[in-house]
Structure 1
Amino acid sequence: MKVEILHFSAQGIHVQITSLVHQYSFTATFIYGFNTITARRALWEDLRKWGTESPWLLLGDFNYILSQDDKHNGEPVSNYEISDFRECCSDLGIADLNSMGCHFTWTNGTVWTKIDRVIVNTHWSTLQQIDHVHFGTLGAFLDHSPTTIQLGF
C-alpha cells in the first residue's frame, strides 16, 4: 500500500491510498471533530474543499450526530445541533457505509450517541468491492465503540 498525505488540518488528515498489488486507489479522510458546534464548522469547510470525484472514505469521531435517532437519553436534539453536518453530507453526496454491530458508538454512561462513523461518497461503488464495517461493543474502559473496516478487493 502507498499512502500519500494530500491535506491536513486540526480536525482531519486527507490521504490518497493506493494498492500497489491490486491497482486500486481511493481517498480517505481520518477525522476527529472538535467538541463544539462552532469549532467544528472549520471541519465542514475543509471537507467541502477536499471533496473528490474519486472513491472517498471518511471515518472517525465526528463528535456530531445526524438525527434524533443517533441519540438515546439526554436533551432532545435541535435542528441547530445537526444542520451543519447534514448540509455538509448533502453538499458532498456522502452517507454512512452499511454497518453491523452497535448503533450507538459513544457513551458517558447516561447518554448514548452515534458520533463515530464510516462514510463514503457516491463514487465509492465504482471500486466494486465488498466492504464490512463493524462497530463493537463499548467496554468498561472504553467510551467509544471500537470499529473495524474490512475491504475485500
Structure 2
Amino acid sequence: QEIWTLLWALHGQMHKLWVFIGDFNEILRLSEKHGGGMNASWQIDQFRNALHDCGLVDMRCEGSGFTWNNGRRGLDFISARLDRSVCNWEWKVKFPMAVMFHTLTSILDHCAIVLCSQGRCRNTGCKRQT
C-alpha cells in the first residue's frame, strides 16, 4: 500500500501528462497470477480502485502476461504480472499507440520493462521461465 500512497501524492501534484512504470507488487485480475495461493479479491479491488481514484489506466502490454517468477520448478512455480505501466488519460490521448514490452533476462526474477511511446519496439518476451 506504500505505492498507493505515492500515487496519491503524485496525483495531487501532477496536472499534465504522466506515466508511472514499475513493480506494483499487486495484480489487477486473477488471470495475472499462475500458481501459489489466490490473491484476496479485496486486495485486487483496492489496487484497481487506487488506480481509478488517481485517474490512471493500465497500459497495453504485449508478450508474456507475467513479469515476475519465483525461479522454482514444478508445483512450486509461481509467476505473476507485478510490473506494469500506468498513465493518466492525457498521456494516453497524446500517445495512443504506446505499448509496454518485457525484455529478456536470465538473471533477475523480474523482467525489465520497455515502454515504446509509438508502438514500434520489438517484443522479446521474458526469458526466465522454468
TM tier, shorter chain? 0.7 to 0.9
Q: Report if aligned partners of 2:3, 2:24 keep a CA contact under 8 Å in 1.
A: no
Moved more, 76-85 or 55-64: 76-85
Q: Which residue of 1 aligns with 2:109?
A: 143
**1:59-104 deviation line (CA, Å, top 9, x unaligned):** 0111111121110011112123323311111101212111211110
**RMSD between aligned alpha carbons?**
1.9
What is the Cα deviation at residue 129 of structure 1? 6.0
Q: Which residue of 2 aligns with 1:76?
A: 38
Q: Report if aligned partners of 2:68, 2:80 keep a CA contact under 8 Å in 1.
A: yes
| Distance in 2 of aligned mates of 1:142 and 1:46 | 25
Secondary structure (helix, strand or coil) at the match of 2:117 reads strand
- Does structure 1 residue 66 correspond to structure 2 residue 33? no
Q: Report if aligned partners of 1:67, 1:77 keep a CA contact under 8 Å in 2.
A: no
Which of 34, 41, 44 pairs up with 2:4?
Answer: 44
Q: Which runs of 5+ in 1 are unaligned?
A: 1-40
Q: Which runs of 5+ in 2 are unaligned?
A: 72-76, 119-130
What is the Cα deviation at residue 125 of structure 1? 3.0
Q: Which residue of 1 aligns with 2:98?
A: 131
Q: Which residue of 2 aligns with 1:24?
A: none
Structure (1/2) with the larger helix percentage: 2
Alignment of 1:56-135 (within 5 A): 56-109=18-71, 110-128=77-95, 130-135=97-102
The amino acid of 1:121's aligned partner reads N
| Distance in 1 of aligned mates of 2:5 and 2:85 | 19
Identity of aligned residues (%): 28
Going from structure 1 to structure 2, the CA distance change for 1:130 and 1:86 (only over 3 Å counts) comes to closer
| Distance in 2 of aligned mates of 1:45 and 1:131 | 26
| Distance in 1 of aligned mates of 2:86 and 2:65 | 14
Going from structure 1 to structure 2, the CA distance change for 1:79 and 1:130 (only over 3 Å counts) comes to closer
| Distance in 2 of aligned mates of 1:116 and 1:126 | 22
